[in-house]
Structure 1
Amino acid sequence: MENKQITAVTELDRAHYKTKVYSGGHFIYADEPEDIGGTDEGLSPAALLLASLGSCTAITIRMYADRKGFNLEHIKIELAICKEEEMGKETTIKRKITFTGTLTDDERARLMLIADKCPIHKILNNPIKIETS
């Protein structure tokens, strides 16, 4: 796998919060709910953050389970982030992982450890510096 920089471009015109997001030849919308002026035609930015963590976690677990030959049929990851007004020096994300398949207790425990090895988890657990120009 080529180790190239990940990039994204976002564009917002007068569409009242409905934002176009481009990355790696793919396209999605981010938006806000109607009750705060959005069109609710895409995931909210916070939901996109949770989706990034959840999908990265699931992919990392799947890669490991496949490499080890574990009988892992399905991975479900439920995520929630604290309310914006509760965010201060620390933001809490709750993540519940459920596995389906014939797994030993040791395999389940190992998969839970592997969940914390996903790149997005590592990014979110370290200080983040944002340079704006």
Structure 2
Amino acid sequence: MKYILESPIVGKIGQQKFKTAIVWRNGAFITDEPEKIGGQDLGPDPYSLLLSSLVACTLATLRLYIDHKALEIKDITVEANMYQKIVKEQIVTYIDRSITFDEAVAPEIKQRLLKIAESCPVSKILKGNVEIATQLPS
């Protein structure tokens, strides 16, 4: 098996409720929970991080395609939010994603860009089958 990341993401938490340190290959950042649930809002919460991954991947994928096709689209904005509902006694998560461009884009190009956005790797992960294997080393 070959991992996507060269080094794993590492997170640590001390005694301060909800504040974590996340270390990635070139740096570190803090995550936290909003004050309304007991955190100090010092960094993004896990849901914000998940949606940030989708937004970042969508933007990067669109920019690669737009540049490759030499389209005259300078700025792209992607917004994402999520909600959950109980459907047939199971929690179902819905993610709404909105893409806007700073200039007029022809409808046929918009449709192609929508398909490109749907094919970004994080979209595929979120829509696919994900299995999480968790171990406690002895």
What TM-score do you get using the length of structure 2 for normalisation? Answer: 0.86
Structure 1 unaligned spans of 5+: none
Instruction: Letter of the 1:127 partner, please give it.
Output: N
Higher relative contact order (CA 8 A, sep 6+): 1
- Does residue 95 in structure 1 map to residue 97 in structure 2? yes
Decide which structure has the larger Cα Rg and report it.
2
Instruction: Letter of the 1:15 partner, please give it.
Output: Q
CA deviations on 1:54-85 (whole Å, 9 max, x unpaired) are 010010000000000001111111111104xx
- Does residue 5 in structure 1 map to residue 7 in structure 2? no
Pairwise CA distance, 1:48? 0.4
Partner of 1:22: 23
CA deviations on 1:6-40 (whole Å, 9 max, x unpaired) are 22111111121111111112211111011211110
SS at match of 1:16: coil
- Does residue 78 in structure 1 map to residue 79 in structure 2? yes
Distance 2:79 2:105 in 1: 20
Structure 2 unaligned spans of 5+: none
Instruction: Letter of the 2:113 partner, please give it.
Output: L
SS at match of 2:98: strand
- Of all paired residues, the percent bearing the same amino acid is 34
Larger mean CA deviation between 112-121 and 26-35 belongs to 26-35
